[in-house]
A and B are shown apart, each in its own frame.
Chain A
Amino acid sequence: MITRAAWALRHTWTLAAHDVGQWRRAPWAIAAALIPPAALALLLYILTFNLGHQPIALVQEGHGRYSNHIAGIFQAQAGDIYSLITTDRASATRLLDSQQVAAVVVIPRNFDAAVARCPALQPDQIIHDYTYARSGCPAARIQVTLDNANANFAGEIRRALSETVAFFDAPDIVTPVSESQLDMSDLNPYRVNVMTALTRANTVDYIHYAVIPCLVLLILSVGVTGTALLCARDIERGTARHLALAPVSPVVLIAGRLLGGVLVSLVVIVPTLAITTLTGLIAPPAGHWPALALVFLATAVCAAGLGAVVGATMRGSRAVSMAAAVICTYLFFLGGGFTTVQFLPTWLRQVTTFVPIRYAIDGLRQSLFYPGLYGFGADMRVLLGTAIVAVVVGGVVVRRAWSR
């Protein structure tokens, strides 16, 4: 019994090692698997650096106390929510016309006088009925000219400017819960103090949050493309018939093929992980390495199973590589690799719950970014369940393809 098991394992390993060798000798297949995740990682990396900081020109025509104060607020908030160029009105217009800035903000000459006409709120000022709505004095006006080519970035600029302008009268509309001992500032004319509390112990920066899941795409792309091409090649070259006639159990052969697919993924992901760890790109909390390894292994098994299905059902290496690229891209995007799932509308979030890669990405983020492994078990249950289904279905489809 033990001898038979050892023989089976040896055959499985022989076929898997042969598959890895074949894969290593196919540089174009490797390129086909590596290019999409590499390009996407680069895209995400550069996008996170360059988007969301709209260039704004500030023209300060008033130079009194209030003008200088609001100009100082603009300068202080620049970099966080917009980039700022301080210039004169003519240059600002030229910059706007040549699209070097998205908006021009003018602090007019009469700004100080207008602010002075409108007194700040007094600490003991309480209004007992709602008729004050008609008693507000005309406020000073900051002039904004906006290149509103699309609603998204125009909205971002409006919101950022609104934030800056609100800060002039009330620096403390939003305060963290940890600062609850601070004075609520009776001078805040908006009369609300929004106390924010965060549910997680740490906030992950967006570059890591968005780029690191490309590791999942990498393992998925290599696993699906690799296994699919190996299966397709057997059918194309007629070697599938030889395998079917081999005096070895079909289960052993299929296990060897799927193990080959998993090993191909690991051959790529292990050095990638080593490099990203050594360069400090990833630094999982202590004790999270086994969880991380489980995520990658389960994803690799899913990818091998899926690749087997694709490779055994489609004809031709090119069709297989294209189908693999399309499938992997959809799985990754719908799994929340390119987006924050929480941002998506309800119907799309419901769709993502049926995408197994979502659980791989969630598990990866949880094990890499957060101190605890909250929800990790549930993610792994779904991912491992999918891996088992993928292996069984992949095995059945490959066996049928070999028999044809």
Chain B
Amino acid sequence: MTPTLTALGGGFRAEIQQIRRSRLLIVLTIAEAVTFLVLVSIFGLTGNHVPTAVVDRDGGKLSHQWAQEMAATYHTYGIRYMDARSAQEALSEGDVAAILWIPRGFSQHMAQHTMIRIHFVVDNVNADLTNEVELGISPAARAFGVANRFPGIRVVTAEKDVVRHEVGFIPYLVVSALALTTFVVAGTLAASAVAREFETRTLAYLKLSPTHPLVPLAGRLLATGAVSAVAVAVATLLVVVSYGVTPLHPAELAAGLLLCVVIFSCIGAGLGTLVRRTLPLSALIFGLALAFYLDSGSLEPARFYGNGLWVVAHTSPVYYAVGILQEAVHGIQVTPETIGINFAALIGWAVLAAGAAWLGLRRAVTA
């Protein structure tokens, strides 16, 4: 028992020393992880609040109300009041994506309930933006008509929400991104620790150790796991402080993230054994993280993507992790599976990944 523990501790200390000597790599690994948080935030900013100039030539109470309804309609428009010349300049320079011209006499027409034409100029940069800005107009007109109880409006909607406290898009995205951050940090550090043994050909020396040669390697992986846990804790703190996201169930969040560290360290060890080169590992893990990001419910519940992608999502641990993290932080269920099933699946993944990494490494060591 003692030689095993000594070998384990030795591996742990050796890896910590290695990490301390390569601070730049740690900084870059964390930068790569934070990149995810930043990128999903940028992504979250798109599709909402399209900068739209309103040239109000009427200046009345009702024209102002119309613009306010536009601003309030499902986060579609970011309204900016401008004069005609500034609006045209802003449109040509790409500062606004559309101009709404409210004509003189608008308020009078609305008060008298007579038809009026409004001109709306859209910079059709691409189909997505054009659809977004055009789709917002009818709801804005409807909201205005319903608010003023215009006659002739024969249908309205009565909405009942499943979730009591609706979560903002960016708070939703950054919580999902924590799972991917964990994947990038834990995966890269563990994969590098293993691949380095192959690259520097030190694996042969491990065979001479008085214990099983995998024990010192396990010690190294424990060290990368510990460092990853600290890095993920920092990222979580960053999310809490910068984005004002307070977890409803902190213990559940910590347990979910720790499980992720274990799983992704094991996956990283497996990747390191497969690739055996440190150079392409970070790119490979970054690429894999993007694939996980796609199909893990990071943007919205994965089931809404359709059954095909949802079934594929089950092959990724990030899917279960996102389910746990969203429940722990926001208290919302984003997978049809319960939180217990998600935890069981993650534990299963941890056992599977550890077993696969162990087998892969044993094969490599005995080869």
Contacts and interface: CB of A to CB of B under 8 A. Distances in A.
A3 interface: no
Interface string B297-316: 00111011111010000000
Given A163-B138, A192-B116, A206-B126, A322 B97 contact: no
B43 A174 contact: no
A338 B42 contact: yes
A219 interface: no
B163 to A, nearest CB: 5
Contacts of A340: 46, 125-126, 128-129
A186 B109 CA distance: 13
Contact of A344 (B31, B45, B192): B45
Nearest to B169: A152
Nearest to B100: A194
A161 interface: yes
Interface string A203-215: 1111001100000
Contacts of A184: 115, 117
A74 to B, nearest CB: 12
A29 B159 contact: no
Given A159-B76, A325-B282, A339-B43, A127 B124 contact: no
Given A98-B303, A133-B149, A150-B167, A163 B139 contact: yes
B119 to A, nearest CB: 5
Contact of B130 (A145, A173, A203): A203
Interface stretch (B217-225, B236-244, B331-339): B331-339
Interface residues of A, number: 128
A204 B284 contact: no
Interface string A117-148: 01111000111111011111101111111111
Given A149-B301, A158-B159, A193 B115 contact: yes
B274 to A, nearest CB: 12
B28 A204 contact: no
A195 B157 contact: no
Contacts of A195: 117-120
Nearest to B195: A318
B5 to A, nearest CB: 31
A149 B152 CA distance: 34
Contacts of B125: 200, 204, 209, 340, 342
B154 A118 contact: yes
Contact of A99 (B110, B161, B303): B303
Interface stretch (B6-14, B245-253, B254-262, B285-293): B285-293
B112 interface: yes
A341 B152 contact: no
Given A39-B291, A338-B42, A141 B149 contact: no
Contacts of B119: 177, 194-195, 197
Interface in B328-351: 332-336
A238 interface: no
Contacts of A121: 151-152
Interface stretch (A5-13, A252-260, A270-278, A345-353): A345-353
In the complex, the 5 A-B pairs of residues with the closest C-beta atoms, listed nearest first: A189-B152, A121-B152, A39-B287, A136-B149, A152-B169
Interface of A: 28-29, 31-33, 35-36, 38-40, 42-43, 46-48, 50-52, 54-55, 70, 81, 96-100, 102, 114-115, 118-121, 125-130, 132-137, 139-156, 158-163, 165-170, 173-174, 177, 184-200, 203-206, 209-210, 314-319, 321-323, 325-326, 329-330, 333-334, 338-346, 348-349
Interface of B: 22, 24-25, 28-29, 31-32, 35, 38-39, 42-51, 73-76, 78, 91, 94-97, 100, 109-130, 134-139, 141-145, 148-163, 166-169, 172, 192, 275, 277-284, 286-288, 290-291, 293-294, 299-301, 303-307, 309, 326, 332-336
